[in-house]
Amino acid sequence: MMESREIQSILPHRYPFLLVDRILELESGKKGVGIKNLTGGEWFFHGHPFYPHALLLESLAQVGGIVLGSKAREENPQGRVMGLFAGVSNFQFHRCAVMGEQVTLKVEVTQSLTSLYKFSAEAFVGEEKIAGGQILLSFGRSPFGGPSPS
């Protein structure tokens, strides 16, 4: 299991755009399961109870970033690499998650080509699948200069 502090050592994302709370299962380079809790106090709940679709996609992509980032860290602890969101295909939303729910984020690499990784990505609330499709991450050297944000 991976807590927020360790997640932040892999992802450069920070508040208010760090959208995964905990990693429950991880096979680095292959797949991962993360969670995002929706408490109701977050900035995106403005007069409505829904977790926006776009942010759900970002949550899934961030779990993908951890799957790839943890692998890269095993191979080269000093290297500075990061994933960039490159695309989404055939992604279906069944319903929105709402405040008070815990979203389970499951991603698995299905295909990779040099620095491009295609994932199947699914979001669940309990046993209910609320969304799913394919996401594409481009993973390589961090475009950021200077010290790593972590």
Partner 1 sequence: MERGESIKAAKLITADEYPLSGHFPGEPIMPGVLTLEGIAQSALILLAESLSRGRVSCFLDRVDRVKFKRALVPGDRVEFLVRLMKKEGGFWTFRGQARIKGEIAAEADVIFKVALQEVGFEL
53 binds partner 1 (CB under 8 A): yes
Q: Can residue 114 be called a binding residue for partner 1 (CB under 8 A)?
A: no
Residue 24 main-chain phi, psi, to 5 deg: -95, -40
Q: Is 116 in the site for partner 1 (CB under 8 A)?
A: no
41 touches partner 1 by CB under 8 A: no
Going residue by residue from 59 to 78, which x/- string records binding to partner 1, judged by CB under 8 A? Answer: --x-----------------
Q: How many CA atoms lie within 13 A of 106 on its CB side?
A: 12
Among 40, 49, 52, 126, binds partner 1 (CB under 8 A): 52
| C-alpha distances out from residue 146 to 79, 87, 138, 143, Å | 13, 27, 21, 10
Q: Which is nearer to partner 1, 54 or 113 (CB)?
A: 54
1 forms part of the interface with partner 1 (CB under 8 A): no
Quick check: 48 binds partner 1 (CB under 8 A)? no
Q: Are 122 and 99 in contact (CB under 8 A)?
A: no
- 53 tagged catalytic: no
Q: Is 54 one of the binding residues for partner 1 (CB under 8 A)?
A: yes
Best CA proximity match to 131, nearest among 103, 104, 91, 87: 91
Q: Sheet holding 128-141: strands in order across?
A: 22-27, 31-37, 102-113, 116-125, 128-141
Measured CA to CA, the distance from residue 74 to residue 86 in angstroms comes to 24
Task: Pick one of 10, 20, 33, 57: the residue that binds partner 1 (CB under 8 A).
Answer: 57
Q: Which residues are marked as active site?
A: 48
Kindly list the residues in this chain that would bind partner 1 in the complex (CB under 8 A). Answer: 12-18, 43, 52-55, 57-58, 61, 84-93, 133, 144, 146, 149
